[in-house]
């Protein structure tokens, strides 16, 4: 049967959860990125604090050891698109949780494939309508690397692209109709 797993938490709650400004900032981030719960945001905070801790520990090392270990961390962050290829450890320390959330599959699908909201993109990902290269990915929190970013597309059997095109056509028709109505209205006299 094997050894039992002892899973550890991959997130930490905020120290002051009843801070009003923090709550409002969290809610805005949840809406912007289409997160389901605050736990997903806390995971991003925890992952980012882990990366920052690695950068701080590298800054404390001697020159020779730092020259060996620093490129490893920077290369992994460049691969997932968090920093530029010529970045330094100071850039790693300046990262924000929104930078990490912007690399999620859900966010990239929302921006790239023309969904109205990130929640629609999340639903498409969960229901298996999104592929990266040749494989279906149904995990909204999947971190998309820079190399994979251009290969994100709809699955061949998905009907969502047709639905999105119909919706866009209807919206453009409604906009054109409302503009015609505005032009037909006579201007009111202000005298």
pLDDT tens digit sequence for 31-71:
999 999 999 999 999 999 999 999 999 999 988 999 999 99
- Hey, what domains does the chain have and what are their CATH numbers? 11-102 (no CATH), 104-181 (3.10.290.10)
Maximal CA-CA distance, the chain: 89
Q: Which residue has the higher pLDDT, 170 or 142?
A: 142
The mean of the pLDDT values for the chain is 91
Please report the pLDDT score of residue 189 as a whole number.
53
In whole angstroms, what separates CA 58 from the centre of its chain? 27
Residues 6+ apart with CB under 8 A from 120: 110
User: pTM to 2 decimals?
Assistant: 0.83
Q: How many residues are there in the chain?
A: 191
Residue 167: pLDDT band by 50, 70, 90 thresholds?
A: confident
pLDDT above 70 covers what percent of the chain? Answer: 94
CA atoms within 13 A on the CB side of 149: 16
Q: What is the rounded distance in angstroms from the CA atom of residue 10 to the CA atom of residue 42? A: 9
């Amino acid at each position: 049967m094997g050894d039992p797993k002892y899973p550890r938490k991959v997130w930490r709650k905020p120290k002051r959860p009843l801070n009003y400004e923090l709550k409002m900032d969290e809610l805005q981030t949840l809406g912007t990125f289409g997160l389901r719960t605050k736990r997903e945001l806390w995971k991003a905070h925890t992952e980012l604090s882990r990366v920052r801790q690695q950068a701080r520990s590298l800054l404390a090392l001697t020159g020779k050891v730092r020259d060996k270990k620093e490129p490893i961390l920077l290369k992994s962050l460049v691969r997932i698109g968090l920093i530029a290829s010529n970045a330094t450890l100071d850039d790693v320390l300046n990262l924000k949780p929104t930078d990490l959330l912007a690399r999620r599959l859900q966010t990239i699908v929302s921006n790239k494939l023309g969904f109205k909201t990130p929640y629609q993109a999340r639903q498409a990902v969960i229901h298996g309508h999104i592929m990266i290269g040749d494989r279906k990915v149904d995990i909204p929190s999947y971190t998309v690397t820079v190399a994979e970013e251009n290969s994100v597309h709809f699955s061949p059997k998905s009907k969502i692209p047709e639905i999105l095109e119909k919706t866009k056509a209807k919206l453009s028709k409604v906009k054109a109709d409302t503009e015609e109505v505005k032009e037909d209205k006579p201007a009111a006299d202000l005298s």
